[in-house]
Amino acid sequence: MEVSMLPLSVFLLITTLIVGDPEVHAPVDGAPPSKIAVVGAGIGGSATAHFLRQHFGPEVQVDVYDKGEVGGRLSTVSVNHNEYETGGSIIHSLNLHMQDFVKQLGLKYRRSVAGKMAVFNGKEVILEETDWYLLDLFRLWWRYGISFIRLQMWVEEIMEKFMRLYKYQAHGYAFSSVEELLNSLGGSGFINMTRRPLSDSLLELGVSQRFIEEVIVPIIRVNYGQNISIPAFIGAVSLAGSQNNLWAVEGGNKLVCSGLLKMANANVLKAEVNTISPVQKEESLQYQLNFTSAAGAASELYDIVVMATPLQGSATSGVQFQGFTPPFEHFPSHYHTTVATIVHGYLNTSFFNFPDPRLFPFANILTTETPDLFFNSVASVCPVNISTGFRRKQPQEAGVYKIFSPQPLDKSQLKTLFRSYYSVQTTEWKSYPRYGSSQDLSPLELRPNLYYLNGIEWAGSAMEMSSVAAKNIALLAYHRWNRQADLVDQKDLMHRIKTEL
């Protein structure tokens, strides 16, 4: 979600976040857990470790496994001694957990550097941002009519309902599945939105074909690399993320992950988890994790395990679930490939029909769905640390660009997009689910005390989605452990919370 789309910005109602610790209850029976494992040290796993520590207290041992780098899909590459985000990069101003992490960790917001956006259709630029926000609004109104306002209201309403989750979580409520969670926020309407294509909702809203092709599709392409067959709920998340009020973390978003792990006093193990199997001893059920690290193969027993990595299809973590009866069903769906290419060089502005680079005014280029176009977006990117004197490079100068594409770019494609270049760095991500419009939502609770954080990604994939899922799973794990059924999957929470206050 690299690109901010100024004209779509809306004046969102700021829902007040009720800060404060959820009610903490003493265990009703039995001892507290002694060891908890989290598999994955991306933002989801790191936030889970943090919230587990918050709820279970200082005694429990929290082990966090990662086979790769802390940060996972939040990662940077280095160009000329500067770091650039290659994965998750943009955070919305209403992403309250992310904001809270940054505040608690004493991190800073990265200054944003102005840059204009345009939409390119393979031949020419068909839509461009101006310097003047009201003029943009007016132009959009002119070009697309009333459907643009309807769409804004639709996204706003969904955002507002989604924000209820922060209140529920602040009151200690948890959900055992994505369905329960969505249902409590927006009723069956929300669940239906995960099952019908965005195109249906847009049609219902009376959004014009032209607006879909020229505005919506380009946004979905840059955010999720897909088209308007994605579910309506993801579409709304994606459009909400295209408003202004976007930010990022100074020094790189992954600093949130390492910071949270440290604050949680978690043991971070650089190891690949290979198998998980249940171990039943008398009354107690534990899980055995077998893993390999540089030191060789080993295994460890845990009371609670949280899987904080995608388990589906081609993105599999490689974790085998063994000895479970009934056995685990296959997690059927696949992750989409998005290639992020960071190029240091001279953009070929002729390709965009601007023969003179000095007259090329854009920093971000989105694209319509066009056969033969080999990329989804091109953006001039800023380093994760921005010094006071920093200014964006002009198109006639060598600059750092990020291209998102479905396949790695070959030499001739690079030579088309760039007049010349110094360096090319490619990251091939299993980026987010490949959304079909009718798949089932993934479970969050696989077995007693065995949880699956990334089930949330089937409702929406973003740093904040992993963060709200982390809070939910920490609460759920805590309530399940303490047999606190009245804080799980409760109905009519809006009403309850009002009467609790």
Ligand X SMILES: Cc1cc2nc3c(=O)[nH]c(=O)nc-3n(C[C@H](O)[C@H](O)[C@H](O)COP(=O)(O)OP(=O)(O)OC[C@H]3O[C@@H](n4cnc5c(N)ncnc54)[C@H](O)[C@@H]3O)c2cc1C
Q: Where does this chain bind ligand X (CB under 6 A)?
A: 1, 39-45, 65-68, 72-74, 87-90, 272-273, 308-309, 317-319, 338, 340, 429, 431-432, 454, 461-464, 466
Q: Does 374 bind ligand NAG (CB under 6 A)?
A: no
Whether residue 24 contacts residue 288, with contact meaning beta carbons closer than 8 Å, is answered with no
Which listed residue (46, 48, 348, 472) binds ligand NAG by CB under 6 A? 348
Q: In what order do the strands lie in the sheet with 377-380?
A: 125-128, 116-120, 362-367, 377-380, 399-405, 335-347, 418-433
Task: Cite the beta strand spans of 434-474 per DSSP E.
Answer: 445-447, 450-452
Task: Enumerate residues 42-101 that contact ligand NAG by CB under 6 A.
Answer: none
Nearer to ligand NAG, 141 or 438 (CB): 438
CB of 266 to ligand X, least distance (A): 14
Nearer to ligand X, 174 or 487 (CB): 174
Say how far apart CA 174 and CA 346 lie, in whole Å: 51
Choose the contact partner of 431 out of ligand X, ligand NAG, none; CB within 5 to 8 A by kind. Answer: ligand X
Choose the contact partner of 308 out of ligand X, ligand NAG, none; CB within 5 to 8 A by kind. Answer: ligand X
Q: Number of C-alpha atoms within 13 angstroms, CB side, residue 250? A: 15
Q: What angle do CA 430, 463, 306 make, to 5 degrees?
A: 80
Say how far apart CA 364 and CA 106 lie, in whole Å: 30
Give the distance, in angstroms, between the CA of residue 410 and the centroid of all CA atoms in the same chain.
Answer: 28
**What does the block give as tokens for 78?**
């280095």
- Of 55-63, 173-181, 182-190, 441-449, the segment contacting ligand NAG by CB under 6 A is 182-190
CB of 453 to ligand X, least distance (A): 6
Using a 10 angstrom Cβ sphere, with 0-12 exposed, 13-18 middle and 19 or more buried, the burial of residue 45 is: buried
Choose the contact partner of 72 out of ligand NAG, ligand X, none; CB within 5 to 8 A by kind. Answer: ligand X
Whether residue 346 contacts residue 398, with contact meaning beta carbons closer than 8 Å, is answered with yes
- Of 35-43, 59-67, 159-167, 187-195, the segment contacting ligand NAG by CB under 6 A is 187-195
Choose the contact partner of 482 out of ligand X, ligand NAG, none; CB within 5 to 8 A by kind. Answer: none
Say how far apart CA 5 and CA 41 lie, in whole Å: 31
Choose the contact partner of 66 out of ligand NAG, ligand X, none; CB within 5 to 8 A by kind. Answer: ligand X
Q: Does 122 bind ligand NAG (CB under 6 A)?
A: no
Site string for ligand NAG, 128-167 (x = CB under 6 A): ----------------------------------------
Task: Enumerate residues 221-280 that contact ligand NAG by CB under 6 A.
Answer: 227-229, 250-251, 275, 277
Q: Which run of H or of E encompasses 96?
A: helix 96-104
CB of 321 to ligand X, least distance (A): 12
Interstrand relation of 304-307 and 296-302 (parallel, antiparallel or unpaired) = unpaired
In angstroms, what CA-CA distances link 254 with 7, 113, 258, 354, 494? Answer: 29, 20, 7, 36, 34
Q: Does 200 bind ligand NAG (CB under 6 A)?
A: no
CB of 189 to ligand NAG, least distance (A): 3
Q: For the chain, how far is it from start to end, CA to CA, in angstroms?
A: 37
- Can you give the binding site for ligand NAG, defined by CB under 6 A? 108, 187-189, 192, 227-229, 250-251, 275, 277, 288, 290, 299, 322, 348, 350-351, 385, 416, 419
